[in-house]
Amino acid sequence: MAKFTGHEGKLISSFEIKALTEPHHKKEKDIAARGENYIKAEFFGIHTFNKLIQSYGDNCVGFRVYYGNRDEDHEGDEPVFGKGKPTARLVIVPVSADGRDITKGMGLKDMPDSDDGMASGPLCPHKC
């Protein structure tokens, strides 16, 4: 099993950022033609990250970013979830040194919600 140290990933240049993101940006019309909402980027605030890190202490050595999808209506000022077009979304989950997602529970019906991960950041386009 993998052991993570918190040093995974690498810092990249603005040139590499552009090279990685540009092919996706060129697909905006294709994504819209499929009847989906085009998402250029999603923002997550440092204070939200810090709150998530603090809730797990030293057990959190990093984050896993999942690609998700749900129906969203973007006609108003804020997205309405559960109706509208399929929309790509990011889900950020803390990870332990042994490579496991660390959460407090699976959100079972009778369990209270807990702050296990992050999602629903402001989207670009709309709030860039």
Q: Report pLDDT digits (tens) over 68-111.
A: 999 999 888 788 888 889 999 999 999 999 999 988 765 555 55
Report the relative pairing of strands 123-124 and 85-95 from DSSP bridges.
unpaired
The pTM for the full model equals: 0.82
Q: What is the pLDDT of residues 3-41, one digit of tens each?
A: 899 899 999 999 999 999 999 999 999 999 999 999 999
> Please, which contacts does 103-107 make with residues 24 or more away whose CB atoms are closer than 8 Å?
none
